[in-house]
Amino acid sequence: MLRPASRFGAATSASSGGVPANQPLPLILDLVIAGLDSGLLWVLDGDPVWSGHGTLKPCVVCQLKIADDDTQYDVVGPRGSLPVHVKCYRIWRTKSNKLRKRIR
């Protein structure tokens, strides 16, 4: 089942990290904006330096584990190398590009 790029599918106990199934998960864009505002995330300049199978670590954006059958990016930044889902990374990258354009 494909999930829309900007939103996670319905919550399940395996994918939601404990979010009740009847409660919608937040938009990834909202999580990226909150992460940038809090300093958890930073404006991206470079591309991830590694991609491969998920390592079951939580994604820095959505906090859901990256399954071993998913692709994981490790993004290098001021806090080291952090794991992220591909769809979360793409939204983070798009938001970063827009922010950098505003600064110039």
Q: What is the pLDDT of residue 102?
A: 82
Q: What is the pLDDT of residue 22?
A: 59
One digit per residue, the tens of pLDDT, for the chain of length 104 reads 333 333 333 333 334 444 455 556 579 999 999 999 999 999 998 777 689 999 999 999 999 999 999 999 999 988 889 999 999 999 999 999 999 888 76
Q: What is the pLDDT of residue 46?
A: 78
Q: What is the pLDDT of residue 25?
A: 57
Q: What is the pLDDT of residue 35?
A: 96
Asked if 81 contacts 51 with a C-beta cutoff of 8 angstroms, the reply is no
Q: What is the pLDDT of residue 101?
A: 87
Q: What is the pLDDT of residue 26?
A: 74
